[in-house]
Structure 1
Amino acid sequence: MANEIQKFEVEVIEISAKESYSDTDFWLKLRRFARKAGREVVEKALWLYYAMQRPETPVWAKRTIIGALVYFLLPFDLVADLAPLMGFSDDLSVLLIAVSTVAAYITPAIKDQARRKASEWFD
């Protein structure tokens, strides 16, 4: 029926960000997959990482950043990271949502720091 509302069941996987995020894991994945992920993904991840390190970034923004970085670090995604051409598209989407949410805390200095770090891997 046209007026009938369909119900969708969604499995929710609860993850504790504190248990799933570590700086070491972040840097290991970034170094390992930098070329495969592409410069845009790497720079956005670095923007968030460096913004999270700043004491001026409020706790709510740091939580948003950690959530995005945890998704980036997870070995399972909506789209597998090893899939050619598509593997990091979902990661980029999550990173971009986080970037837009905390944009006020991503300074030009952070962007420059991320660009320089990415240049080590891409130039």
Structure 2
Amino acid sequence: MTSQQEQDTLDQLNESEKHYSDTKFWSKLKKYGKKAGSSVVYAVLLLYFTLQKPEVPKKTKGIIIGALGYFILPLDLIPDLAIGVGFTDDLGALGLALLQVAMYIDQDIKDQARAKLIEWFGDHVDTSDVDAKIL
């Protein structure tokens, strides 16, 4: 991603903040989680659980809320119902947000996200791709 693309994505995240709520978040995640796949869901859960930490600064929480707002946005760049590519733009926005907040993602956050993944996808979830990006 070029720096201009990153800036455009960050601008979209800021605009998407107004679409975030816990109710909308859990509703969309439950409805589209299987279609989105475990990598998207894991990224979303990492952000969600990081948002819950009281020591995370407001600016960082704003980035998270923007990314989660973008995820639950009813109309995004690529419709989520488009099979195979519908969550591609969501994953890009989520990935950028993860890079921005990675310093606040600790083992406890990862464990909470993995536990929820296992609950929804079974014991054989692979989080290595996302984990490698936030080291």
C-alpha change, 1:61 and 1:121, in structure 2 (3 Å) is same
Residue pairs, 1:74-93, within 5 angstroms: 74-93=73-92
Aligned twin of 2:6: none
- Please show how residues 1-80 of structure 1 align to structure 2 within 5 Å: 15=15, 17=17, 19-80=18-79
**What is the alpha-carbon root mean square deviation over aligned residues?**
1.7
Supply the AA of the counterpart residue of 1:66.
Answer: I
1:73 and 1:20 map into 2 onto residues whose CA distance is 7
Q: TM-score, normalised by structure 2?
A: 0.78
Percent identity of equivalent pairs: 51
| Cα contact 2:16–2:73 (8 A) shared by 1 | no
Aligned to 1:119: 118
Q: Secondary structure at the match of 1:42?
A: helix
Q: Which runs of 5+ in 2 are unaligned?
A: 1-10, 123-135
Structure 1 residue 103: Cα displacement: 0.3
Match of residue 3 from structure 1: none
TM-score, reference length from structure 1: 0.85
- Offset from partner CA, 1:35-82 (integer Å, 9 cap, x none): 000000001000000000100111110000011011001011111100
Instruction: Spell out, residue by residue over 1:83-103, the C-alpha distance to the aligned partner (whole angstroms, 9 max, x if none).
Output: 010000100000000000010
The equivalent residue for 2:129 is none
Task: Specify the code of the residue in structure 1 equivalent to 2:68.
Answer: L
Q: What is the distance in 2 between the residues matched to 1:93 and 1:15? A: 16
Q: CA deviation at 1:15?
A: 4.2
| Rg larger for | 1
**Which residue matches 2:5?**
none
